[in-house]
Amino acid sequence: MSILSEVKAPTSTEQPPTHEEVIPLEPKKTFTSEEIQQLLPHRYPFLLVDKIIDYTPGKSAVGIKNVTINEPQFTGHFPGRPLMPGVLIVEAMAQVGGIVIRQLPDLNGGLFVFAGIDKVRFRRQVVPGDQLVMTVELLWIKQRRFSKMQARAEVDGQLAAEGELMFSLIN
């Protein structure tokens, strides 16, 4: 994603703008569900990010997952006591990381997949009705092919999960 520029429209008394008067636009900081689907290949029932509420190009993103009882995993995990599986929490964090990776310059095409998961810990149960707030920060990227991110998921300001996620680009 490139940073766009906006030119001020001259009023009737102003001269046309020169190149020094170009005002840069702020990079996009939020993404709707439709915009997320343009960036990620995931679809229902495996698209686990509803909205991006804060995005810093090349650095980090904060995403939201609204956990609802009508999601298919709650039929069997667990009847009478629905809990969001830890692997889906990790996947949701990874999808937020995918928003960061997919918009890095010179990384057009290909698909980033998990290459490793380290230091993942689950600190709180996530249940239907919770809103999972996931913050993912890019730690490094090597050879435009491998990357590592620090991820954390919170519910009501309480840490639910955290860990390091590694990705690899496949063609």
Active-site annotation, residues? 77
CB 121 within 8 A of CB 161: yes
**111-122 and 146-155: which strand pairing?**
unpaired
Closest CA to 35 of 4, 58, 56, 63: 63
Please give the structure tokens belonging to residue 20. Answer: 């020094």
- For residue 133, CA distances in Å to 40, 111, 120 come to 18, 24, 16
Q: Which residue has the tokens 């689950």?
A: 122
What phi and psi, each to the nearest 5 degrees, are found at residue 38? -75, -25
- In this structure, the chain runs to a length of 171
